Amino acid sequence: MLIRRPADVLPSEITSPELYARRREFLREGGRLALAAAGLALPWADAGAAALANVQPNRMKIADAPTRLKDITTYNNYYEFGVEKGEPAENAHRLRTRPWTVSVEGLCNKPRRFGIEELMKLAPLEERLYRMRCVEGWSMVIPWVGYPLSALLRAVEPQGSAKFVEFTTLADAKVMPGLRYAVLDWPYTEGLRLDEALHPLTLLTMGLYGQELLPQNGAPVRLVVPWKYGFKGAKSIVRIRLTEQMPATAWNKAAAHEYGFYSNVNPNVPHPRWDQDSERRIGELTKRKTLLFNGYDEVASLYTGMDLRKNF
């Protein structure tokens, strides 16, 4: 786990809220300098970079300061590229994100295959910057660029029998060294109930910090469900399928007694091997209390009447 004490952080490494709110100055002085300082190459398509160039920070969901870009892009869970936190950043450069398509199929009236550029145009990315918490025992605050998944789902018109949404991610042994290990049942699959998928906080995400996603963060398109534990955020999505039956998910198949389908952040339900009532935010020394639904109380109505211990 990467822990930095406050004294270790230089003032130059901290992006002030005022600078972050000034879009053009932030992108010019904050985002680009941070990328340069991190030594990150940006081999992105011109169309994608242009689509994100005018991102406006008008949809912040929390007031917390964002985690440093360097930490977000070097401390990752992406088992296809390695199980150690630093391995995805070391190995994911092999991933090629152009061309890229996402097939949307199953119980919908207008199934189709979307190119990544089409996905970027489906909803106005320039109006979609969300600062959200991500929790996996450790936590970060990430300024995602994307839009509600509901925009994509409504474009394909879910049928009345559709109750769930399944996400399948890329499994390419040529570029993903982690696939040689039987850690999970590849390809990685994840799922949501349809009403969860349609909630405005559920995002289809293509960037962070005003730039396109890097491969280690799930490029070119990933899922973000901020009130659930981070493994629900399927990365490098290639297929979305609407179903009537609850889909099998990767971690639930691997250890059903530890990882339920819902995977909501619930500090009152300890993991069999550790407590979940506290978390350590990357860049901070002390732990903080974990909040129910990760603090996103607006999703509580989705689970009215459910036993949140049984449906973990």
Does 3.30.70.20 match the CATH number of domain 6-303? no
Tokens of 69: 């870009």
What percent of the chain has a predicted confidence (pLDDT) above 90? 67
The residue that leads in pLDDT, 268 or 52, is 268
Tokens of 93: 């450069």
Residue 206 identity (one-letter amino acid): M
Tokens of 100: 């890229």
pLDDT band at 62; cut points 50, 70, 90: confident
pLDDT band at 125; cut points 50, 70, 90: low
pLDDT greater than 80 at residue 30: no
Phi, psi at residue 241, to the nearest 5°? -130, 130
What is the per-residue pLDDT for 174? 97
pLDDT band at 60; cut points 50, 70, 90: low
Q: Which pLDDT tens digit goes with each residue over 131-161? A: 888 888 789 999 998 999 999 999 999 999 9
User: Are the CB atoms for 248 and 241 separated by under 8 Å?
Assistant: no
Buried b (16+ CB within 10 A) or exposed e, 239-260: bbbbbeeebebbbbeeeeeebb
82: closest CA among 169, 185, 181?
Answer: 181
Question: What residue ranges do the domains of the chain occupy?
Answer: 6-303
Chain centroid, CA 173 distance in Å? 22
What is the per-residue pLDDT for 272? 87
What is the per-residue pLDDT for 271? 87
Tokens of 21: 């709110």
What span, in angstroms and rounded, lies between the C-alpha atoms of 50 and 36? 19
Tokens of 11: 């003032």
Residue 235 identity (one-letter amino acid): K
The residue assigned the tokens 């910057």 is 129
What is the per-residue pLDDT for 4? 33
Q: Which pLDDT tens digit goes with each residue over 159-199? A: 999 999 999 999 999 999 999 999 999 999 999 999 999 99
The residue assigned the tokens 């089409």 is 118
Q: Which residues contact 201 (CB under 8 A, 6 or more apart)?
A: 61, 132, 148, 225, 226, 227, 296, 298, 299
pLDDT band at 34; cut points 50, 70, 90: very low
What is the per-residue pLDDT for 270? 87
Residues 103-113 have a mean pLDDT of 98
pLDDT band at 128; cut points 50, 70, 90: low
Residues 228-250 have a mean pLDDT of 97
pLDDT greater than 50 at residue 105: yes
* DSSP assignment of 263-284: -B--TTS-BTTB--SEEEETT-
54: closest CA among 24, 26, 18?
Answer: 24
Q: Which pLDDT tens digit goes with each residue over 285-301? A: 999 999 999 999 999 99
What span, in angstroms and rounded, lies between the C-alpha atoms of 61 and 130? 6
